[in-house]
Structure 1
Amino acid sequence: MTTTINGASHARNIRARVAERVARLRHDGHLPGLATILVGDDPASAVYVAAKRRAIREAGMRDFHRHLPQHATQDAVAEVIDELAADPDVSGILLQLPLAAHLDAAALIDRIPVTKDVDGLTTASAGRLARGERGLRPCTPSGVIELLDAEGIELKGACVAVVGWGELVGRPLSQLLLRRGATVTVAHEFTTDLAAVTRPTDVVVVATGVRGLIGPEHVKPGATIIDVGIHRTPGGLTGDVRAAELDGIAGRITPVPGGVGPMTIAMLLVNTLQAAEWAAEQEAAVPA
């Protein structure tokens, strides 16, 4: 029988622990705060930002939000980022993606200080991850690692296939898995025999944006399947995995929705809290 991994339950546990630590920081006068920046009125982006802001408030953190018009210039967005970067009350900065075509997203993201980069997307954060230095890691890959840990899946020595080589999930996740001692194989759009890559592995993580890509032919019996994809269909949300076809084959599988998604927001809270704690450490280390 295949076990469904309850990401929502694991995320609630993480959020409860974050709230406890936030309460201690508040007592010490270091209340974390997240600044979200939304450019334009894209409905999906507005929903995502609203969910993040709600989670921040529920954790007891401060909610700093900036909403800019769709026609905001590169300089206008940069000015907001610089202002938030200089604000000591702001622990983390999140620039909601995607941005309008006239904006250079990479340049704007790189204006976020590495110490406030709660999405883990700046060039500096990527460098710290690659070098194994202390830093804030991308939320979805971190959430995948947390899920695997919570389910008691041993990564050291495990064979893991990461399907997808995107900057948001596949690349950073591969590095996180390697540092946990997993043997990692990465598949992508140019992989000629996907099943040959995924079927021998103990864990398959799929983040391609291709609906229903992975089925029984790609999975060995008992393997753990982590589905990062999400697609809106007339029948509801679905992922990159044909989950119903894997029932009785996979050992564990994340559902869509309710799997990786809740963990992404939970790890955003963790990163915001971590940024605040590191800032407090640095403040304490400065001679009076």
Structure 2
Amino acid sequence: MAAGLIDGAALAAETLERIAATVHAAVEAGARPPCIATVLVGGDPASHTYVRMKVRRAERAGLATRRIDLPASTTTERLVTVIRSLSADPEVDGILLQHPVPAQVDERAAFEAIAVDKDVDGVTLSSYARMAEGAAGFSSATPGGILRLLDRYDVDVRGMEAVVVGQGPILGRPLSALLLARGATVTSCHLLTRDLRSHVERAELLVAAAGRAGLIPGEWVRPGAVVIDAGYSDGGKGDVDFEGASERARLITPVPGGVGPMTIATLLDQTVAAWRASTSIS
């Protein structure tokens, strides 16, 4: 029996429609719109594409945007100064530093310059600690989007054997923390994990986030498992063999159209939440 499809594009569209309605009503009543600032360092074409997409989606939903593009030669000190200025600006509600930054920049120092109440991408250590404790705050956008998808499809992770393949600071590690906080039993794997197959075969919930196309063959997937493929490689391929996994899984995300749309929707929804908190809009 074919797996049910987890439609991230549909949930993202609903989320953006709700955001647009909220912002429109507030602006009509005289409020300023929420504002997200994007910071991009260097000329990486993929990064420019992602930022353009995020800005376009934000503006369609009625948000104001502020885009800061810095040259590839930018120093850590210069980037930190720019981000601290945005953090201090009362007209800016959310800050997104596009990852990755050039090698000479201390990315962690740049992330830590983001005020925690404007960390709508959930990249600061303070946000990570809150995710690990299950406390209030902003989650990392992609992991937060994955949790929203699981909620929409009534996947209760409490007590589930969850395997996360990928330990990146933007996706794998924060997602593992979020799943632990929700009561899942989490195994965190990566490309150096010995006998990866044995871990994957145990997973009731499998999240693939290694960025290696076809890393996980369909026959490794446990029958009845929920498969979230958050990997993406050139050519639009995910980490999981979709066709093979679909014959065994209960639910599965497509690539594209699964996790990706929810990343932007979650980012903008958290920006609206930050705006509400700073302006006391109900």
TM band (smaller chain): over 0.9
The partner residue of 2:67 within 60, 65, 69 is: 65
Q: Following TM superposition, by how much is the alpha carbon of 1:279 offset from its aligned partner in structure 2, in angstroms?
A: 1.6
Q: How does 1:74-89 map to 2 (within 5 A)?
A: 74-89=76-91
CA contact (8 A) 1:162 1:184 kept: yes
Q: Following TM superposition, by how much is the alpha carbon of 1:30 offset from its aligned partner in structure 2, in angstroms?
A: 4.7
CA contact (8 A) 1:5 1:254 kept: yes
CA contact (8 A) 2:144 2:266 kept: yes
Q: Following TM superposition, by how much is the alpha carbon of 1:28 offset from its aligned partner in structure 2, in angstroms?
A: 5.8
Q: Give the ranges of 4+ consecutive aligned residues of structure 1 lying more than 3 Å apart after TM superposition.
A: none
The partner residue of 2:180 within 178, 183, 187 is: 178
Match of 1:116 in 2: 118
Give yes or no for the alignment of 1:251 onto 2:222.
no
Q: How does 1:1-288 map to 2 (within 5 A)?
A: 1-26=2-27, 27=29, 29-232=31-234, 236-281=235-280
Counterpart amino acid of residue 162 in structure 2: V
Give the stretch that moved more between structures: 15-24 or 105-114.
Answer: 15-24
CA contact (8 A) 1:195 1:218 kept: yes
Unaligned residue ranges in structure 1 (runs of 5+): none
Q: Following TM superposition, by how much is the alpha carbon of 1:23 offset from its aligned partner in structure 2, in angstroms?
A: 2.8
Inter-partner Cα distance in structure 1 for 2:39 and 2:167? 26
Inter-partner Cα distance in structure 2 for 1:145 and 1:136? 13
CA contact (8 A) 2:133 2:181 kept: no
Give the stretch that moved more between structures: 124-133 or 93-102.
Answer: 124-133
Q: Following TM superposition, by how much is the alpha carbon of 1:208 offset from its aligned partner in structure 2, in angstroms?
A: 1.0
Percent identity, aligned pairs only, is: 43
Relative to structure 1, the CA distance from residue 127 to residue 179 in structure 2 (aligned partners, 3 Å threshold; closer, same or farther) is: closer
CA contact (8 A) 1:30 1:276 kept: no
Aligned length: 280
Give the stretch that moved more between structures: 262-271 or 26-35.
Answer: 26-35
TM-score by length of 2: 0.93
Unaligned residue ranges in structure 2 (runs of 5+): none
Inter-partner Cα distance in structure 1 for 2:151 and 2:115? 29
CA contact (8 A) 2:33 2:64 kept: yes
